[in-house]
Structure 1
């Protein structure tokens, strides 16, 4: 699974657990059910849920009666926590080393690095204002006014 997919899968899984009211082991949602909702392979979901479990966001149980459940209310889980839990990063990359002896090549990498840090910090701050509960709400204040990307069409 690519690094870029862990965060969306994790956010989706957490929202699904909240939607299903899975707050205890007795309410555990199997990885196959979560995978069907995403949609992705159950192995992908199990990898992501293992990361969320290590971060203390969910509980998991292996086996035929296994699954995942939330350890915290969705209102108390922010998306920056989710991003960190899956070792994701909002950063846009890192600048290449500049050419030795070139005044631009020696200066630009440091300046680009500063710009990238600023962008990463801004993304983390924005995600810190959005909760898993917000993902399920019709018009949460934390997402109001944001422009949506074009919908992704999935072939049947």
Structure 2
């Protein structure tokens, strides 16, 4: 098991020093799922939610969140993100929306936290915009699907 890189020899929390790390293109893809009742799913799909276009608002929120990750997660480095995308895969059969976020940077540290933050805030935005219809919505399966770049190389989550 690797050492905790955010803790020094005295047990104090620290930001990892990336000064000597090589710049490389780094990409991360994350996902999350919002499940809801059929009526809420239809309102989102038909764009009839009172608060407006849910998915486009969630897309903007996710992109904005990725750009602010270092302000939200302690010890995350501020990154000059070159690209963030947030996409939605509605599944009528199970009344859920799978959110997928991709973050890309050329730098000395990865963008996993940015992709995960984008997914999380997009999911929270869907919940916020639809909670008056369905307080039983669930947010689940927030996870890293893949990452590439850097010293540790490529990771792809095995499909079950």
Identify, as 1 or 2, the structure richer in strand: 2
| More helix, by proportion | 1
